[in-house]
Structure 1
Amino acid sequence: MPSPEVVVAKPDYWEEAVAHLMRRDRILKKIIPQHGDTWLTKRSTPFVTLARAILGQQISTKAADSLWERFLDTVGRRPTPAGVLDVGLAGLREAGLPQRKCEYVQDLATHFAERRVHPEKWTSMDDESVVSELVAIRGIGRWTAEMFLIFHLQRPDVLPLDDLGLLKAISLHYFSGEPVSRFEAREVSSAWQPWRTVATWYLWRSLESNPVQD
């Protein structure tokens, strides 16, 4: 939630998307007003966004935050590809980062340093082209690439079907808590287009006020 002292700009499509979703989906019509003072905000630089995503994969938010702090203590508070490469695998391991994640972050830094990826072009590339470039980096699968599309590029129509939180929210609100398949989730989402990112955002928020047990 944005603090009262800092005005965080909404994506320019946000109000149009909200109006569409509240008109087309009876569940979101109830959820959205409960979170009217929150919206999608952009996260840091492309490199930092991806590094944090890699380090936070498959662990709790608390553990991810702790790992990120150790990473920053090691490579500096403003991580760069060059800084990560200077520290090297040994330095990251000494900081207590898992071996595999150290390797992934090093590969990410190498891709950026050697210009194997082209972040300056991503804003003009379509979603699937960005995903294709990102998944060539070790440790980045489709889910991580889609999180980048949502949180950094702020693409409006991303549906992350591999995201457990989204599937959990769809199960809770649309299927009375019964497990849902990717096909069923996609069917539910058909009414959200072309604003599936925004629908996903509000469904994530709904889990904060309606926690679902694993």
Structure 2
Amino acid sequence: MKNLIAAENHLRRSDPVLAKIIAQHGACMIKPDRRYFRSLVEAILSQQLSIKAAATIFSRFQNLLAGQILPTAILQLRDEQFRSVGVSRQKMTYLRDLASKWQDDFINPRRFARMHDEDIIITLTQVKGIGRWTAEMFLIFSLGRQDVLPVGDLGFRNALKKAYGLRKLPEAKRITALAEKWKPYRAIATWYLWASLNNKPKSGA
């Protein structure tokens, strides 16, 4: 992920609270996963499941496809094959919609590099089962975008409350104002705040 040293230096200078957290946790460990389609499939399969259950379902699904998590392979699966590895009817619909939009070039990963964050979010959320939160996590952990601010993430909001001594969980408007000084590295600041709770993003759609 590019410019991490510059990001860390900027955050240290701009925010004394983050400076302490960075000192405690060291280098940011975000390593973008360029397997874009696979990442979105895993995100859909993981929704509303514990970490352990999600890992089990994804492993079974991956074995079902012999490790080839591709749009064409998903579109060839029958309902009973999905069910055999624990995929619900709703998630079947989501995965088929993702695979169709990928195959039909509605989502083209070659265009991502030229697209703004918000345009990618708008595109991805046209897929059934992908909401803003999932799209934001994709931007951070797959595309390595450094200025994403996931104001709806519960873990992030809890970390802000604790780190900044807030009386209650901050709402979007307050988070946006507080994060203004982190630009253009708001995703890196978010990662450090997650780390301050030894936390991972709280999953959502």
Q: How high is the TM-score relative to the length of structure 1?
A: 0.87
**Counterparts of 1:172 and 1:88 in 2: how far apart (Å)?**
47
Give the corresponding residue for 1:65: 55
Aligned AA (2:13): R
4+ runs deviating over 4 angstroms: none
2:155 pairs with 152, 165, 185, which one?
Answer: 165
1:39 equivalent to 2:23? Answer: no
Alignment deviations for residues 3-26 of structure 1 (CA, whole Å, 9 cap, x no partner):
xxxxxxxx2211111001011111
What percentage of residue pairs aligned between the two structures are identical? 37
Q: Which runs of 5 or more residues in structure 1 are unaligned? A: 1-10, 210-214
Deviation, structure 1 residue 100: 1.1
Q: Which runs of 5 or more residues in structure 2 are unaligned? A: 200-205
Deviation, structure 1 residue 170: 0.7
1:23 equivalent to 2:13? Answer: yes
Deviation, structure 1 residue 79: 0.8
* Equivalence map 1:50-199=2 (5 Å): 50-176=40-166, 178-199=168-189
Deviation, structure 1 residue 111: 1.1
Q: Is the 8 A contact 1:89 1:106 kept in 2?
A: no
Aligned AA (1:21): L
Alignment deviations for residues 63-118 of structure 1 (CA, whole Å, 9 cap, x no partner):
22122112112222231111111223331112111221121111111111222211
Partner of 2:76, secondary structure, is helix
**Counterparts of 2:117 and 2:125 in 1: how far apart (Å)?**
12
Q: How high is the TM-score relative to the length of structure 2?
A: 0.91
Aligned AA (2:113): T
**Counterparts of 2:56 and 2:166 in 1: how far apart (Å)?**
35
1:203 pairs with 193, 196, 202, which one?
Answer: 193
Q: Is the 8 A contact 2:28 2:191 kept in 1?
A: no
Greater shift, 129-138 or 175-184, is seen at 175-184
Q: What count of residue pairs does the alignment treat as equivalent?
A: 199
Q: Is the 8 A contact 1:108 1:137 kept in 2?
A: yes
For the aligned residues, what is the CA RMSD? 1.6
**Counterparts of 2:68 and 2:23 in 1: how far apart (Å)?**
36
